[in-house]
Amino acid sequence: MKGYVYYSKAESVRNRAFIDDLIIESEKLGIELHLLVEDEKPNSDADFILFRGRDTTRAAKFESEGFRLFNRAEVNRIANDKLRTFELATLLGVPAVLTSRIRSIEEIASYPCVLKTVDGHGGNEVFLCNSAADAELFFTKFPDRKLIVQPFIESSARDIRVFMVGNEVVGAVKRTGNGSFKSNYTLGGSVEKYILSSWQKKDAKTISKAIKSDYVGIDFLLLPDGRWLLNEIEDPVGARSLYTTHEFSVAEKLMGYIEEKISVE
């Protein structure tokens, strides 16, 4: 069995440790896995491409050329659009943070609020706005981007990231922000292992099943009263926090899943 793991050039450097782990675990299964970067062309005899990018157009092109993608282009399209993610959750009946498209600061009903680019990731294009002046700065910073607004929800800067391989929960972490309302681990937040309840597992599986994902992270804001609200779906999802808190190789589980899928398709 032959395959590729695709990354952009910058992300291939940043995720070198995970790439190496994927290659090691692939070899154990007899899978020949190669790194595919930026505009490099995959050989037509490849059985699959593990797509670790955010370029939906590129993903769709690979699919049109006949490659089996993990995740599919449609998963990438939904996960990298926060408004589509909210609309999906609404259709599925999964509680989610109220999300609306916004084109001007006059559309903001109240403060504080959270403004985001619709396709940002890693917490870098997320701003807490306490006034119209704050919102104006955000609009000035991202003049040509599609933007969304969400109410600020007090969560003590805590959220839960659920890692899904297929429709199986392989782990979950609680992330807590460090001096910020953002909980992202890569922004300096702390992480700890989190055990999901049965109803939390059900919400996560409802989402992964609906989008037919192969490997995603699903982020929920954790509220003070114990409830949670879907915030985002991450594709591609980084696994640093999972490696830190759990004693297994994510790459091993993922490549085992891919081998099984390819074998039965």
Report whether pLDDT(187) > 70: no
- Size of the chain, expressed as the number of residues it contains: 265
- Give the model confidence (pLDDT) of 25-55 as tens digits: 999 999 999 999 999 999 999 999 999 999 9
Instruction: Kindly state the tokens that stand for 9.
Output: 């050039």
Per-residue confidence band for 188, with pLDDT thresholds at 50, 70 and 90: low
Report whether pLDDT(185) > 80: no
Instruction: Kindly state the tokens that stand for 1.
Output: 């069995």
- Give the model confidence (pLDDT) of 98-136 as tens digits: 999 999 999 999 999 999 999 988 778 999 999 999 999
Per-residue confidence band for 240, with pLDDT thresholds at 50, 70 and 90: very high
- Provide the pLDDT for residue 184: 54
Residue 107: Cβ within 10 Å count: 12
pTM for this prediction: 0.92
CA distances from 233 to 170, 210, 236, 241 (A): 16, 12, 9, 16
Report whether pLDDT(148) > 60: yes
Burial class (CB in 10 A: 0-12, 13-18, 19+), 201: middle
Q: What is the largest CA-CA distance in the chain?
A: 58
DSSP 112: S
Report whether pLDDT(183) > 70: no
Instruction: Kindly state the tokens that stand for 83.
Output: 């408004």
Q: Which residue has the tokens 């994927």?
A: 22
CA 116 to chain centre: 15
Closest CA to 11 of 52, 49, 55, 62: 52
Of all residues in the chain, what percent carry a pLDDT higher than 70? 96
Output 60 or 187, whichever has higher pLDDT: 60
State the average pLDDT for the chain.
94
- Provide the pLDDT for residue 3: 98
Alpha-carbon distance 23 to 10, whole Å? Answer: 19
Alpha-carbon distance 232 to 82, whole Å? Answer: 6
Q: What is the mean pLDDT of residues 201-221?
A: 98
- Provide the pLDDT for residue 160: 96
- Provide the pLDDT for residue 189: 74
H or E segment and range at residue 56: helix 56-64
CA atoms within 13 A on the CB side of 216: 31
Report whether pLDDT(179) > 80: no
Coarse DSSP helix, strand, coil percentages of the chain, rounded to the nearest 5 percent: 35, 25, 35
- Provide the pLDDT for residue 181: 56
Q: Give bridge partners of residue 114 from the DSSP assignment.
A: 128, 150
- Provide the pLDDT for residue 186: 53
Q: Is 17 helix (H, G, I), strand (E, B) or coil?
A: helix
CA 58 to chain centre: 17
Query: Would you call the peptide bond into 236 cis, given omega within 30 degrees of 0 as the criterion?
Result: yes
**Sequence letter at residue 209:** K
DSSP 234: E
Contact 35, 7 (CB under 8 A): yes
Domains of the chain: 2-70+256-264 (3.40.50), 78-95+155-245 (3.30.470.20), 100-151 (3.30.1490.20)
